[in-house]
């Protein structure tokens, strides 16, 4: 009834496409042998590098592919079959990366951090101390798990490696966090960061990126999984333009990416991060008010209890029962708002994750979008006849007002 108008797909990827990104792609196919495309691409690299605050010597390789491609690209450049890695997970996506590693013939040790809290640095330290012969070549972590909305403290995990005196590489999936939560590659001593275009980078899916340290580059020498297509060397230091992509360039994605990076530059990374932090806190404030007034039997809650371990890109909300699914349906059908499904959040009693909804506040999102989304959810709770705490949108508005000041 109220869905006509501009839809808002508040999904944690693909995220909202800015007008300038869409407009940048409205053009005919360029000549891939002409200088313009090479100059455009060369201009993207320093801006992409600066997104992750890299240590000197960090290199960047890009791929035509989604996040799953980035996982395989990382594995291909670093390992040989039989190598051992430690996959420390806090939700669904780390499991996916671990499975990719197994499928490529790696030995994977799993450190299961559950899906409601950040990984315990002490648990990582203990696992690494137990690896007396230093067989573990790398630790794989997900910075922000997009299913659980857990955000890990990468600095603390790096400190755990140091405390254990373990030489393993530290590799981070920052697909959901880059452009939303602070990614400080040098500060957290990350040897590899991977990301994709369709989350905080506000572009269509189809591009992914690996930033890798000098230590990672050295560790990857002789990796038997590396094939010409995945090889990061020519992509990071192309002798010819086509080496960037190992084939035809992703032409229109490059125009889109230029426009997206220009938006980020204009706002400034600190502004981008502060906006995401404020919108996230507004969502949490609203959810707490709703949940306080809901039937305790539903077990409604924010998935991550510790605000310090919550992502600024997406919030996983457990409404309980079948409420998440009913609300998702109502919001999309009646309100033009698409919420994320309870991806990977189901259990034996609720295999489909019907209790859950995820609200993204990722990328090209501002106050009226988040407040509007919260208002639609509140209308949905009311229409569905679900008692809930009153004043949630007001609480969210107060958070934004306080954060912004005059
Ligand atoms: C979205 C996402 C992925 C998967 O990316 P695809 O583009 O769907 O392959 C992996 N990890 C994280 C943390 C993500 O948010």
pLDDT band, very low/low/confident/very high, at 30 (cuts 50, 70, 90): very high
Pocket test for ligand 1, best of 93, 96, 119 (most atoms within 8 A of CB): 93
Which tokens belong to 207?
């591009």
- Measured by CA distance, the residue closest to atom 3 of ligand 1 is 67
Q: Does the C-beta of 175 come closer than 6 Å to ligand 1?
A: yes
Pocket test for ligand 1, best of 14, 146, 206 (most atoms within 8 A of CB): 146
Average the pLDDT over 349-355 and give the result.
Answer: 95
Q: What is the residue-wise DSSP string for 216-246?
A: HHHHTTT-TT--TTT-HHHHHS-SSGGGGTT
pLDDT the model gives residue 398? 98
pLDDT the model gives residue 270? 98
CA 260 to ligand 1 centroid distance, Å: 19
The closest-lying atom of ligand 1 relative to the alpha carbon of residue 70 is 9
* Percent of the chain topping pLDDT 70: 100
Average the pLDDT over 288-305 and give the result.
Answer: 98
| Rounded (to 5) percent helix, strand, coil in the chain | 40, 15, 40
The closest-lying atom of ligand 1 relative to the alpha carbon of residue 13 is 1
Average the pLDDT over 149-160 and give the result.
Answer: 98
- Measured by CA distance, the residue closest to atom 5 of ligand 1 is 67
Average the pLDDT over 259-278 and give the result.
Answer: 98
pLDDT the model gives residue 119? 98
pLDDT tens column, 43-102: 999 999 999 999 999 999 999 999 999 999 999 999 999 999 999 999 999 999 999 999
pLDDT the model gives residue 154? 98
pLDDT band, very low/low/confident/very high, at 406 (cuts 50, 70, 90): very high
Residue ranges with strand state E in 46-191: 59-64, 84-89, 107-112, 136-142, 169-173
pLDDT tens column, 120-133: 999 999 999 999 99
Q: Does the C-beta of 205 come closer than 6 Å to ligand 1?
A: yes
> How many other CB atoms are found less than 10 A from the CB of residue 18?
18
| Cα–Cα distance, 387 to 291 (Å, whole number) | 9
Average the pLDDT over 232-241 and give the result.
Answer: 98
CA angle 73, 187, 90 (to 5 degrees): 55
Q: Does the C-beta of 66 come closer than 6 Å to ligand 1?
A: yes
CA 93 to ligand 1 centroid distance, Å: 7
pLDDT the model gives residue 150? 98
- Measured by CA distance, the residue closest to atom 4 of ligand 1 is 67
- Measured by CA distance, the residue closest to atom 15 of ligand 1 is 176
Average the pLDDT over 229-237 and give the result.
Answer: 98
* Contact status, residue 233 vs residue 220, Cβ threshold 8 Å: no
105, 81, 86, 79: which is closest to 232 by C-alpha? Answer: 79
CA 176 to ligand 1 centroid distance, Å: 7
CA 311 to ligand 1 centroid distance, Å: 15
Average the pLDDT over 17-31 and give the result.
Answer: 98
Q: Does the C-beta of 93 come closer than 6 Å to ligand 1?
A: yes
Average the pLDDT over 162-174 and give the result.
Answer: 98
- Sheet hosting strand 84-89, strand order edge to edge: 59-64, 207-212, 192-196, 169-173, 136-142, 84-89, 107-112
Q: Does the C-beta of 339 come closer than 6 Å to ligand 1?
A: no
pLDDT the model gives residue 81? 98
Q: CA 314 → CA 56, 151, 362, distances in Å?
A: 31, 10, 7
pLDDT tens column, 209-224: 999 999 999 999 999 9
CA 1 to ligand 1 centroid distance, Å: 33
Torsion of CA 292, 3, 272, 343, to 10 degrees: 60
Q: Does the C-beta of 68 come closer than 6 Å to ligand 1?
A: yes
pLDDT the model gives residue 287? 98
Q: Does the C-beta of 13 come closer than 6 Å to ligand 1?
A: yes
Q: Does the C-beta of 336 come closer than 6 Å to ligand 1?
A: no
């Amino acid at each position: 009834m109220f869905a006509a108008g501009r839809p808002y797909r508040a999904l944690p990827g693909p995220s909202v496409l800015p007008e300038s990104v869409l407009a940048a792609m409205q053009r005919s196919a360029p000549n891939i042998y002409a200088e313009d495309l090479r100059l455009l691409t060369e201009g993207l690299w320093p801006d992409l590098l600066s997104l992750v605050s890299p240590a000197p010597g960090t290199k960047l390789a890009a791929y035509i592919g989604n996040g799953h491609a980035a996982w395989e690209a990382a594995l291909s450049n670093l390992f040989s079959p039989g190598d051992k890695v430690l996959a420390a997970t806090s939700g669904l996506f780390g499991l996916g990366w671990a499975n990719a590693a197994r499928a490529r013939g790696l030995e994977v040790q799993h450190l299961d951090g559950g899906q409601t809290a950040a990984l315990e640095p002490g648990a990582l330290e203990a696992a690494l101390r137990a690896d007396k012969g230093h067989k573990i070549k790398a630790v794989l972590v997900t910075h922000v798990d997009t299913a659980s909305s857990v955000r890990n403290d990468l600095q603390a995990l790096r400190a755990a490696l140091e405390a254990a005196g373990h030489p393993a590489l530290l590799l981070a999936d920052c697909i959901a966090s880059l452009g939303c939560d602070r990614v400080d590659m040098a500060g957290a001593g990350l040897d590899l960061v991977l990301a994709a275009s369709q989350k905080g980078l506000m572009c269509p899916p189809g591009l992914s990126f690996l930033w890798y340290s000098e230590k990672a580059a050295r560790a990857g020498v002789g990796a038997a999984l590396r094939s010409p297509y995945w090889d990061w060397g020519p992509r990071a230091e192309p002798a010819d333009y086509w080496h960037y992509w190992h084939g035809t360039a992703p032409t229109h994605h490059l125009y889109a990416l230029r426009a997206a990076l220009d938006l980020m530059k204009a706002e400034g990374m600190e502004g981008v991060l502060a906006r995401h932090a404020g919108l996230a806190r507004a969502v949490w404030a609203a959810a707490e008010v709703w949940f306080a007034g809901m039937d305790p039997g539903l077990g409604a809650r924010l998935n991550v209890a510790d605000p310090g371990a919550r992502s600024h890109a997406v919030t996983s909300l457990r409404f309980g029962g079948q409420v998440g699914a009913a609300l998702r349906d109502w919001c999309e059908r009646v309100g033009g708002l698409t919420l994320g499904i309870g991806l990977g959040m189901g259990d034996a009693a609720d295999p489909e994750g019907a209790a859950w909804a995820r609200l993204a506040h990722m990328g090209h999102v501002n106050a009226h979008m988040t407040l509007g989304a919260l208002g639609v959810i509140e209308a949905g709770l009311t229409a569905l006849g679900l008692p809930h705490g009153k004043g949630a949108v007001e609480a969210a508005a107060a958070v934004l007002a306080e954060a912004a000041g005059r």
